[in-house]
Amino acid sequence: MSELAPFGGGLARREARKILAILGLTASLAAFVSACGGVGAVTELNHLRQVAKGCPDSPVAAFVALDARGSLRGRQLTVARLAAIENLATKVAVCGGGRLRVVAFGPSPAATATVFDDGLHPAGATENARLIRVPGIVSKAVGEVEQGLPVAFRQLTRNGADPVAQLAAARDFGDELGPGTAVVVLIETSGLTRMTARLTKATAVKLARQVSVPDLHGATVTFAGLGRVGAGPPPSTTTIEALRAYFETVCRRTEARCRAVTEIAVGS
C-alpha cells in the first residue's frame, strides 16, 4: 500500500505533488535570490514581470545581425552590442521562449557567420517559475555570443558590410519558424559602406527606393548604431539624418514596423 494512503489516497497524492512543486519553486527562487542578491533579485523579478506584461500573444523570436567592419569591432562597441543582445534575449526568453539567432555579416549575403542560434526556453509550470530561470538562460546565451564573436570576425573581411542584405536573412529566419511567431529583427550597423559628406536626406530616400527588399510584414525591425565609426570622427548631423532616412525608407518598404536609431544598446 502506498505510504500516502493513510492520509487520503488520491487526494493526498495531489496535495503532496502541490507541496513538492511549491518546494521546487521555493528552491529555485532561493537560488535566484542568492545569484542576484537580496533586493536586487526582487527588482530583477519585477522587471521580468513588466517585460512579460508587454509580450505579444505569439511567442517571440529574434534575429540579430552585427556589422563586422573593422571600425566596429572595438571593445566599447562590443559591450554596447552585447547589452542590446541581452535585452532582446530577455524578451525572447520571457515571451514564449522562442529562438535567438545572432550573426555577424560582411559585404555580401554570403559573407555571414553564425554566432549563436538556439531556443531560449525557461522551464516551469508557472510564470514565476519560468521567470526566475530567465537570467541564467540569458546570461549563458550572451556569454556564448561574446565568446563566439572573435571567431566570427576572423571569418569576415574588415572592409565593408551590407546591412540591407540582412533583411532577406531575417525573412528566411521567419520562414523557418513559420506562422504564429512574432519576429524581432535588430541590425547593428554604422550605416552605408560609402558615406560621403554630400549625402543628404533627399538623396538617401531616393537611393532607398531603388533597393530590392523582402516582405517582412508583421515583423519589427530596428537598424541601430547608425553613424557609429569606432575611433574616428563622427559623421555630421546631416549625414546621420540622411542615414536614418535611408534605412527607415528601406525598412518601411518591407511593411515591417521600423526604427532607425543611433543608439546601440536599444531596449527590449
Residue pair 188/221 in contact (Cβ under 8 Å)? The answer is no
Q: In what order do the strands lie in the sheet with 257-260?
A: 112-119, 99-105, 60-67, 182-188, 220-224, 257-260
Give the domains, in start order, of the chain with CATH numbers.
57-260 (3.40.50)
What confidence tens digit (pLDDT) does each residue in 43-97 have? 899 999 999 999 999 999 999 999 999 889 989 899 999 999 999 999 999 999 8
Average confidence score pLDDT of the chain: 85
**Which pLDDT tens digit goes with each residue over 211-265?**
999 999 999 999 999 987 666 677 888 889 999 999 999 999 999 999 999 988 6
> 160-195, pLDDT tens digit by residue?
899 999 999 999 999 999 999 999 999 999 887 665
Name 75's Cβ contacts closer than 8 Å, sequence gap at least 6.
Answer: none
